[in-house]
Amino acid sequence: MTQILVVAEIAGGKLKSTTLSAISFAQRAIEAAGGSFSILAIGGPDTADAASALVAFGASEVIVCEDPSLEPYVAERYAPTVSDIGSKFELLVATASSFGKDLMPRVAARLDASYAGDCSGVSARDGKLAFTRPMFAGNAFGSLTLSTPIGVVTVRQSEFAAATPSGGSSPTRSVAMVAPSGAAARVEFVSLDQVTSARPELTEAKVVVSGGRALKEHFFDVLDPLADKLGAAIGASRAACDAGYAPGDYQVGQTGKIVAPQLYVAIGISGAIQHIAGMKGSKTIVAINKDPDAPIFQIADYGLVADLFDAVPDLVKTLG
């Protein structure tokens, strides 16, 4: 019987949909080994309002920590509270988003806990939970168990469908923030330079249109009209970002963002293994590339061998 704490991701007073994948992971872990799960909603103003959406997923309780000093997010401010509450559980879970990857290793260090990042599966083995995680850009998978009394994991969003409400209403309770101490208390927020866009957020979009280095300086000239037609987020290969054709936060891949939309359109992307590792969980993959031997066609559901500078404008016209 495992007691699990899911750490919800809340930004600007809004619940991030990535949290629903972590809840799915917790539900699957309980099916495998028994137990129950709770959810921690931690953040600045309006966190309690955002947490109200979490009561319908079958959690034993929803724990709310709302404090104005927690906005904007700084890991050193969050970690003391998460670790203090998490010390009463056997497993702490968060999505392997930028938030989870930043916060949870710090929590594990404070708890002297074993850590498994980017998990893609969970099962029971000899009465313990066993976690599956990708290695070598997803070409191999390892299975491991955690030996410490408390374990900490992050969950690959693309491998766990968003949890759906199960009915009922979990009880909620409020807790106070645990103030940071030592070196963490001296960490001071200075500023945040954030790219803002009217498009859906890349990791949460149902449709993603991604471009490669072949687009060159015409990256947005070509992709914007198609993304507008599809209501899509825009992504990029690492090569396109390294060349300066797209901002770094557009990068999809092993060292970028992991996405799993309903539709992924890869334009001028050859399909390097590092890129495929970040998007192969997409439900439908469409590839446009003039090279018929491009690796991207091996995983694409639909492929078009054509010059993208001709094919994409034609596609936009067809879509009306």
Kindly report the average pLDDT of the chain as a whole number.
Answer: 94
Q: State the number of CA atoms in the 13 A half-sphere of 254 facing the CB.
A: 14
Q: Is 30 left (phi over 0), alpha (psi -120 to 50) or beta?
A: alpha
Question: What domains can you pick out in the chain, each with its CATH number?
Answer: 2-186 (3.40.50.620), 202-319 (3.40.50.1220)
pLDDT digits (tens, 9 = 90+) for 76-85: 999 999 999 9
pLDDT digits (tens, 9 = 90+) for 97-135: 989 999 999 999 999 999 999 999 999 998 899 999 988
Helix, strand and coil percent figures for the chain, each rounded to 5: 35, 30, 40
Phi, psi dihedrals of residue 306, rounded to the nearest 5°: -165, 165
**pLDDT over 90 at 222, yes or no:** yes
- Residue labelled with tokens 């990042």: 117
| Secondary structure of residue 314 in the 3-state scheme | helix
Q: In whole angstroms, give the CA distance from residue 307 to residue 311.
A: 6
Q: How far is CA 12 from CA 44, 62, 194, in A?
A: 8, 19, 13
Q: Provide the pLDDT for residue 168.
A: 81
Confidence at 219, pLDDT banded by 50, 70, 90: very high
Of residues 242 and 198, more confidently modeled: 242
CB atoms within 10 A of CB 41: 26
Q: Provide the pLDDT for residue 123.
A: 95
Mean pLDDT along residues 270-281: 91
Q: Provide the pLDDT for residue 134.
A: 87
Instruction: Extract the runs of DSSP E, i.e. beta strands, from the chain.
Output: 2-7, 10-11, 14-15, 35-43, 62-66, 91-95, 114-119, 121-125, 128-135, 140-144, 151-155, 172-174, 207-211, 233-236, 263-267, 284-289, 302-305
Of residues 12 and 107, more confidently modeled: 107
Percent residues over pLDDT 70 in the chain: 99
Q: What is the DSSP string of 7-67?
A: E--EETTEE-TTHHHHHHHHHHHHHHH-EEEEEEEEESTTHHHHHGGGTTS--S-EEEEE-
Mean pLDDT along residues 26-33: 95
pLDDT digits (tens, 9 = 90+) for 144-193: 999 999 999 999 988 898 999 987 899 999 999 999 999 889 998 898 77
Tell me the two tokens of residue 32.
């495998």
**pLDDT over 70 at 13, yes or no:** yes
The pTM is what? 0.84
| Secondary structure of residue 154 in the 3-state scheme | strand
Report the chain's terminal Cα–Cα distance, integer Å. 55
**pLDDT over 80 at 235, yes or no:** yes
**pLDDT over 90 at 290, yes or no:** yes
Q: Provide the pLDDT for residue 135.
A: 83
Q: Provide the pLDDT for residue 255.
A: 85
Q: For residue 120, give the amino acid letter.
A: S
Q: Provide the pLDDT for residue 195.
A: 67
Q: In whole angstroms, give the CA distance from residue 301 to residue 314.
A: 20
Mean pLDDT along residues 17-38: 95
Q: Provide the pLDDT for residue 127.
A: 84
**pLDDT over 80 at 224, yes or no:** yes
Q: Provide the pLDDT for residue 254.
A: 84
Please name the residue ranges forming H helices in 157-307.
219-230, 238-242, 273-276
CB atoms within 10 A of CB 303: 18
